[in-house]
Each structure stands twice: as structure tokens, then as C-alpha cells.
Structure 1
Amino acid sequence: MKKNNNFASTLKDYVLITIGVILVAFGIQYFYAPNEIAGGGLSGLALVISNYVPFLSVGTIIFLGNLILFVVSFILVGGDFGMKTIYASFALSFVMDFMEKVMHSYALTNNLLLAIVMGTIVIAAGIGMTFAINASTGGTDILAKILNKYSRINIGISLLIVDLFVVVCGAFTFGLDKGIYSLLAVIMNGLVVDRVTIYIEKKQKEKANSDIEKLAS
């Protein structure tokens, strides 16, 4: 019975990770990438690199970058986080390439402010879902998780700190105006990720307490 419960719990985690990955990929491919918004993270850095190395897709660059960070996550955060992150990052690269090469993703809006707001909400919701179940979509999210684990800095601020470098690179590559929009995206992302993570963790605790009460009764 316990094994069945563990399997159901693990399956639920990976379903949530998959949904989170799809949200992140959608936000990047339909809002950020076509508008050249480097909104932080490895995905934002990949947009910058892809601009200089166009024969490499954004998804491929993310995949290569994640390979370097996997070992770090296993050593400093733990095996459970590492395995879930490997799945999430591989899935993100696959889904992004699928959206780009098969679905031929395009900008749902060319209004930069609207793209920032809508893209950030979608992406942050996906990232928050993965963080809440001890995973990440890879890239600089791994660094944010490490910073969050070994300090008292919450996950949203941790993301903001590690993403500032990417924003600066994006400003140099795509222009100061888009750099400012990218900074706005990073700040919004940190705030929304915090809210989503706290909400999901609260619901998980409520369910866990409810299950304990049922077993006790």
C-alpha cells in the first residue's frame, strides 16, 4: 500500500513538472523569444547566445548549459532535486524545440509591455510549480535553488540576483530599451514565482495534515 502511495505521489510530481515545463516553454517561445526579451535565466542567456551563434537553437543551448549544472545540483541540493531537474530540463529543451520547429512558434503580441506581462505570468507560474515540488527547469534556477537552500534569501530574490547578469547581457545585445523591459520581467518573475510557490506549498501542507487527521481518526 505504501509503495502504491509513493508511486502515486511521484507520478503526481512529474505531472506537475510537465505542466510547469509546458508553461515555461510557451511563455518563452510565444512571448519572449520572438520579441527578443532576455528575461533572465538560462533561457534568457540562450537567447543572447543564439543571436551570436544562430545555427544553435535556443532549446539546444539550454540543453548544453544544463549539462554543466546537473552535477552541481546533485552535489549541493540532493538526488531527488537532481533527478526531477534533469527530467524538467530535458523536457523543456524538447518542448521548446517542438514549439519552434514543428509548431513554428510566433509572437502572440508585438507589444513589448504586454509580452512582458503575459510571458512573465505564464513562465513564473511554470517555474513556481516546479520549485514547489523540489525541482527546477534547470539553468540558473539551479543556482537560485542553491542560494535559497544555503541562505535565508527567499527563492524569488534568489532568482532576481542570479538573473541580473543575464539582463545586462541582453541589454548589450538587444538594446537598452529591451534591457529595461527584461529587468521588469525579472522583477515580476521573482514576485510571481514566490506567490505561486507559497500557494502550492500551502496546499500541499493542508493536504498532508488532512491525510494525517484521516489516519488518526
Structure 2
Amino acid sequence: MALNMSFRQQVINYSYLVLGAFTLSFGIVGFLSPNKIVTGGTAGMAIVLHHVFSLPTGVLLALINVPLLLISIRFLGKYFAVKTVLAVVLISFFTDLLSYGFQLKPLCDHTLLATLYGGGVVGVALGLIFKAGGSAGGGTILAKMITEKYPVKTGTVVLIVDVLVVLLAGIVFRSVELALWGMISIYIASRLIDLVLTGKSTAKIVHVSSSTNLSALAQMLHHELQLSGTFIRGTDLLQGEKKDVLLVVVENNRLYHLKSLISFFDQTAKVVVMEAAELHGTSPVINKKALVTH
């Protein structure tokens, strides 16, 4: 049974990988490259070089990524390396297939629309590839190499690479405006990546700290909103006194009501609200979220 589940999951992962590679190529050919909107990483570099040397974008993607993959293969895990190599090959193939095989025409020539839709499509594509356990090469590979030797965060390295590529595009195309559009495209892509990987947050985590007895508040929340929570025993850093902290998970549309009840209970209570990106386990809120998202 476990073997079958493992095989099934692998099929799903590789399906995500193929779909993500095709979608990324579609975003490059249909929106970004024709309008000289440069997203980050090797895809952005390939777009710049395509307009300079008139070489196929897919071929350039492969030429840029292959040396990086060969140099960094020991930094990558076995399965991550296999999926990354496959993703790079598929992206290169699909990009030139759409450009020269199907001769896909630019879907729009309006810079704003190309930036918004191109960034969105690329973000969804990268999210699918990451979800499959791979990457599109480029900045991610460099980040893994650098973080192995230096105490820097992966996200910081990827961001630096993206910014450098966009700045290069601005210099090559002699347009500050195109560089700024590229920055917007990268931001949109990053938001869509998060959305694909974690989904839209439909709940909040609320921490409540009060000098009064929180048991009464917990009963009020259960009675009014049918919410349960967890008590965490803490110590006030300044006064050194013991305090209970009530942790509650609440749906977004009931957050205002929850805060009103807390204020009614104790106007001096400290309330911290955080996003609940993922919820697992069993509770009314989690079960309701599962019904909504599946």
C-alpha cells in the first residue's frame, strides 16, 4: 500500500513538473519576451540574450543552466537534482517549441498587461515546479552553492540574482522603465508562488494575553463563536509574573467579532494576530477550511 501511494505521489509530482515547465514557457513566449519584460534568474537572462543575439530563448536557457547544474550537482540532493535537470530540459524544449514550432504570437503588446499576466503565469509555473520538488535552475542553484559556504539566506541570494538580472536588462535595453516593470513582474511572481505552495489563508492565529483570568474569556468565545483554544503558560518579561496566553484559530470573517469580544472582556488585553498559512489536524475551523479548499 505504501509503495502504491509513493508511486502515485511521484506521478503527481512529475505531472506538476511538466505542467509547470510548459506554463513557464508559455509565460515567457506569450507575455514577457516579446515585450522585453525580464523576470529574474536564468529565464530573465535568456530573454536579454535573445534580444541581443537573436538566438532561440530555449537554447539560451539550456546553455546558461547546464554549466550551473554541472558545477553544483554535489550541492543538490539526488531527487532535487533529477527534477531540476528535467525541469530545465522541459522549459528549454517547450519555449522553443512554442516559439518556432507553434509560432505562438505575443498575446498582448501592452506593457502593463504583459507585466501583470506574465508575472502571474510565471509565478504559478514556478509554484508548480517547486511543489513537485524541483526548481527552474538559475538563482536557486546559485543560492544552494553559496549558502553551503557562507551564512546567508537562500531567499536573499535569489533576490540579489533577480535584481542584478533586471538591472542588466535595463542597461542592455537602455530603459529604466523596463527594469521597473521587471521588478513588478518579479513581485507578482513571488506572490503567486506563495499562493500555489500554501494556498490562500482563510484563518488567523490569535494570541491573547491578559492579567485577568482567561478561562472566562475562553468560555465566552466557545459560547458566542463555538471556538476552542489552547492555554500557554508564560512569564511577563518586565514584571516577572506568571500569565496565561490564549491561542485561538479563527476564520477571517469572524476575526472582527472575536476582537470585539476580547475588547469587551478586557480592554487592556494584548492581542497578536498572525496569518495561518496552513492548518492540519482536527478542529471545527480546520475541518471547515478543508471543505472549502478541496
- TM surpasses 0.5: yes
Counterpart contact for 2:41–2:138, Cα < 8 Å: yes
Query: Shift of the alpha carbon at 1:103?
Result: 1.3
Higher helix share: 1
Amino acid in the other structure paired with 2:192: V
2:23 corresponding residue in structure 1: 23
Secondary structure of the 2:199 match is helix
- Asked whether the equivalents of residues 160 and 186 of structure 1 are also in contact (C-alpha less than 8 Å), the reply is no
Measured in 2, the distance between the counterparts of 1:117 and 1:187 equals 10
- Structure 1 segments (4+ residues) deviating >6 Å: 147-152, 202-206
Taking the aligned partners of 2:35 and 2:194, their CA distance within structure 1 comes to: 25
Q: Which has the higher contact order (CA 8 A, sep 6+)?
A: 1
Q: Which amino acid aligns with 2:40?
A: G
8 Å CA contact retained: 1:62, 1:139 = no
User: 1:67 deviation in Å?
Assistant: 0.7
Alignment of 1:139-178 (within 5 A): 139-144=138-143, 153=153, 155=155, 159-174=158-173, 175-178=175-178
* Whole-angstrom distance in 2 between the partners of 1:35 and 1:111: 8
> Aligned-pair RMSD on alpha carbons?
2.7
Q: Which residue of 2 aligns with 1:77?
A: 76
Alignment length, in residue pairs?
Answer: 204
Alpha-carbon distance between aligned partners in 1 of 2:100 and 2:165, rounded to the nearest angstrom: 25
Instruction: Quote the offset at 1:190 in angstroms.
Output: 2.2
What do residues 35-58 of structure 1 show as CA deviations (whole Å, max 9, x unaligned)? 11111111110111122222x211
Q: Distance in 2 between matches of 1:125 and 1:116?
A: 14
More displaced stretch, 29-38 vs 45-54 = 45-54
> Could you report, residue by residue, the CA deviation over 1:62-110 in whole angstroms, capped at 9, with x for unpaired residues?
0111111213443223111000001111001110010000111222111
Change (3 A) 1:205 1:44: farther
Contact 1:73 1:82 in 2 (8 A): no
Q: Which runs of 5+ in 1 are unaligned?
A: 207-217
User: How many Å separate the matches in 2 of 1:203 and 1:94?
Assistant: 35
Normalised TM-score (structure 2): 0.62
Counterpart residue number, 2:41: 41
Higher percent of residues as strand: 2
* Separation of aligned partners in 1, 2:94 and 2:169: 23
Residue identity opposite 1:105 in structure 2: L
Other-structure match for 2:52: 52
Deviation sequence 1:164-213 (CA, Å, 0-9, x none): 1100111011222111111111222223223322239x78978xxxxxxx
Q: Distance in 1 between matches of 2:147 and 2:117?
A: 26
Deviation at 1:23, TM superposition (A): 1.1
Of structures 1 and 2, the larger Rg is shown by: 2
